[in-house]
Chains A and B, each alone.
Chain A
Amino acid sequence: MFFTLLKKLLRSAVVLLIVLFATFALMFGNGEGIARGILGLGANEQDIQNKMQQLGLDRPLLVQFWDWLTGVVTGDLGKSYFTGETVSSALQNRLPVTLSLVIPTVIIAVVISVFLGVAAAYYGGWLDRTVQTATGIGAAIPGFIVGVALVFAFAVAIPLFPATGYVPFTTSPAGWVASITLPVITLLIGSIAGLAAQVRGAVIDTQSRDFVRTLRARGVSEAAIVFRHVLRTASGPAITAVGLIVIGLLGGVVFAEQIFALPGIGQLLNLSAQSGDVEMVMGCVLVMTLILLIVNFAVDTANVLLNPKARIS
């Protein structure tokens, strides 16, 4: 089992390097274009060459990438071309904001989805149909529309929550909760829709297995059957779905942070990509790819721990 996980770790590292290099090549491939983007329309040829030299954009691509990579290891990710802020300090300031959206969403989504999925699978009937319809609608509505509707309903029309802005936990815990409530609900709708359907499907699948019938015949209580045996077997696809949900959330935070003007990594990535601030984009891509790979690894590990069949790779 240890070697399985080690192999997965190595594979993740290789994927990370490939993604980083591909992104780097795309972003830094056109040094002149970057310089022009910074200096604006009025710049002449000489100004552009000066700028390129100043930023080191006239060196070969592999040299620039190696430089950047060694910088990552020492913690120096470069500086923004526009605001001069160091990339690492920008990411440090913004990561808690994005995590304040992603982590509560995942936790609440898991809790609610397991509850809904199990209830739908076990009780069937109208409850099952309601859950299916609700998750269908939740998955179909674009998250952006949910966000805009929530802002209008609960921030503008009825001023219960702030329309924009993020309050750090250390400034005011109550303010923090208020500022993340609407964005988290926005992200929850799509996440629960996907996850609840997965849990329901996995539980229904497991319920019909022989071993469940045997347990029932042996007199094990229904609750114990559900929570100790069925859930553990059904957890395989469900945990994989959690992994996918987290990955989807990394995309979802981009628009959630935009609607609610939250200074997180998604917003940073969006604005940096639009303005051509390539150092910042690379920093965001690095963080997001790391999160993705960590989540994937955690999902694989959880699967291995919970499901003996996954231990053979």
Chain B
Amino acid sequence: MRRTRRALAAIAVPATALALVLAGCSGQTSTAGGSSAGGSAGGSATDTLTLGMTADINGWDPSAQPPYQAWGIEAVYDQLVQCDTSGGIIPEAAESWEISPDNTSFTAHLRPGQKFSDGTPVDAAAVQASFEPLIKSASDRYGGVTFASPDANTITITWPEPQPLLNNRVCSPQIASAKYLASGDLNTAPVGSGPYVFNAANSTSGSIYSFDKNPSYWGADQYPYQHLELRVLADETASLNALKTGQIDGTLITPALYDQAKSAGMSTLQTSVGIIQFQLTDRAGEKIPALGNLKVRQAMNMVLDEQAISDQLFQGHAKPVHQIFGETSQAYIKDLGDPYPYDVDKAKQLMQESGFGDGFTLTVPTMEGQPWLPILPYVTQQLGLLNIKVEQKALTGPDAINQLISGDYPAPLWGLGGSSDSIQDISIQVLDTGFWNVSHQPDATIDALWQKIVTGNQDEKVAAQQEINKYVTENAWFVPIVAPFGFYAYSNAVSVPQMSDPNGGHPLLRDFQKN
């Protein structure tokens, strides 16, 4: 087409800009190791495991890592010990250990001969350097901790108070090289002693992370793949498409995509995502007098049809629960049954007897994307039958979490808890210092039982936990509703014989085997 010179210029300028952008900027972009054309299985070549992550890796600082979707962290770092799925610990960097009878100190004996990727040895100094940042950054769990090491391969970590959650305390931190930790730059590339080494040249931050096998890792046999690639796919449709077209071997999916994944021939594992429950924390009735009345709390427990919620609102991908503790936890009471069966008439009667038959207003804080939001209309309707008016308050912005647990909303509805570690859940939800006990009202019975957990032997611990469970159930401290299922979907390029994650959230890196 003939154009005026000016019109030509209008085309030429963006074209030149495009060329400049491609030439100039792509020189600085690190090349992505994993490209895929068409639908060919780019990621499931026999020796590379490619996994999708729904969130980015948060830097490489070993002391600041969330335990969820931490395959990259598991790849490059070792821990002192690993927490297993029944509340115990198994060897990692430490091959054996002793725990003091009063649960205040942990003595670890390290495997000899391990090295970090910078050549420095995995020794007591490295372990100490790895725990030290937590003293300040997680002072409620590691404040006042001291260290002693009689030789390079032995270290004793001592807390000022007995730790009922000692296992959790020693299996959480990642062990990194002391030199690396002191260097101040913890986010460019990690320096650990794990089964894989980070390959920065083949990685693009925020998009693709590439790792190569560490041949001198003590447990190298557990990891059959020579290469690991993690792809950040924040949108669930994108990650399912990538799974279907073979770009990745596995990813977390929401129940909404379960049917699609199954019909595309994927295998799935059911994962635990907590229990949707009300925390009725204002048991003294300070902010909401009605919540101070036991019958009102019991009525709230009886007005929700949990089976219907599971079947219809979650399409069967959930199950009713009657206790706030997970089935595999020590606090769980096996034959408790349903202490508050679904009975709307009985609930109404209880409300009348309580003297609060005219009901009250309950403000329920909400946040976008929460998986329990689908049940809110039903909960609103049912509580309405008891004259309890549910008002929603959407929390947004950086202050949202602050507001949620501030105590302004004495009865938040949320998905949490239900883990295999009931001592952890008690400390968070039941103790008056727990951050989910948002009204922080003290209770002498609970405090006495907690002391038994802190100082007692194993049997006393279990008995005290079950006592706590009975107490909070009889006093309707909570309204446990349903435990929704999450899913992990994977293609037939891999096999996942078990899920080692103690939180039951997803398979760990060591669980992926070749098919």
Interface residues of chain A, those whose CB is within 8 Å of chain B, are: 27, 30, 32-34, 36-37, 39-42, 44, 46-47, 50, 79-80, 82-85, 90, 92-96, 99-100, 103-104, 106-107, 110-111, 148, 151-152, 155-156, 159-172, 174-175, 178-179, 223, 227-228, 231-232, 235, 239, 258-261, 263, 267-268, 270-271, 276, 278, 302, 305-306
Contacts and interface: CB of A to CB of B under 8 A. Distances in A.
Interface in B5-54: 6-7, 10-11, 14-15, 17-18, 21-22, 25-32, 34-40
Nearest to A267: B234
Contacts of A41: 401, 405, 435-436
B36 A162 contact: yes
Lowest 10 CB-CB distances: which A-B pairs, in order?
A159-B39, A84-B187, A33-B399, A33-B398, A84-B59, A263-B207, A163-B241, A96-B25, A276-B398, A167-B35
Interface string B176-215: 0000000000110000000000000000111110000000
B398 A302 contact: no
Given A110-B11, A159-B38, A261 B56 contact: no
A289 B207 CA distance: 24
A166 B232 CA distance: 12
Contacts of B398: 27, 30, 33-34, 36-37, 276, 278
Contacts of B30: 93
Contact of B35 (A50, A159, A172): A172
Given A103-B14, A159-B38, A175-B35, A271 B139 contact: no
Interface stretch (B119-127, B242-250, B346-354): B242-250
B2 interface: yes
B293 to A, nearest CB: 29
Contacts of B435: 41-42
B247 A163 contact: yes
A103 B399 contact: no
Nearest to A98: B21
Nearest to A79: B187
Dominant SS among interface residues on chain A: helix
Given A41-B405, A85-B205, A160 B38 contact: yes
Given A96-B29, A259-B238, A103 B18 contact: yes
Interface centre among A96, A161, A164, A171 (most CB of B within 10 A): A164
B244 A178 contact: no
Contacts of B233: 164, 261
Interface string B382-406: 0000000000000001111110010
Given A92-B25, A103-B17, A162-B245, A155 B39 contact: yes
B58 interface: yes
Interface of B: 1-4, 6-7, 10-11, 14-15, 17-18, 21-22, 25-32, 34-40, 56-61, 66, 136-140, 186-187, 204-208, 231-235, 237-239, 241-242, 244-245, 247, 397-402, 405, 428, 435-436
Nearest to A51: B137
A171 B31 contact: yes
Nearest to A92: B28
Contact of A165 (B206, B247, B400): B247
Given A42-B435, A79-B187, 19 more contacts: A33-B399, A36-B398, A82-B59, A93-B30, A159-B245, A162-B38, A164-B241, A165-B208, A166-B32, A170-B22, A175-B35, A227-B4, A228-B2, A228-B4, A258-B234, A259-B235, A259-B238, A261-B235, A261-B238
A170 B38 contact: no
Given A156-B241, A163-B238, A258-B235, A170 B29 contact: yes
Contacts of B235: 258-259, 261
Point out which of A151, A159, A223, A261 has the most chain B C-beta atoms below 10 A from its C-beta. Answer: A261
Nearest to A106: B14
Contact of B237 (A47, A259, A302): A259
Nearest to A86: B187
A172 B31 CA distance: 10
B11 A168 contact: no
B205 A93 contact: yes
Given A41-B435, A103-B14, A148 B237 contact: yes
Contacts of A107: 11, 14-15, 18
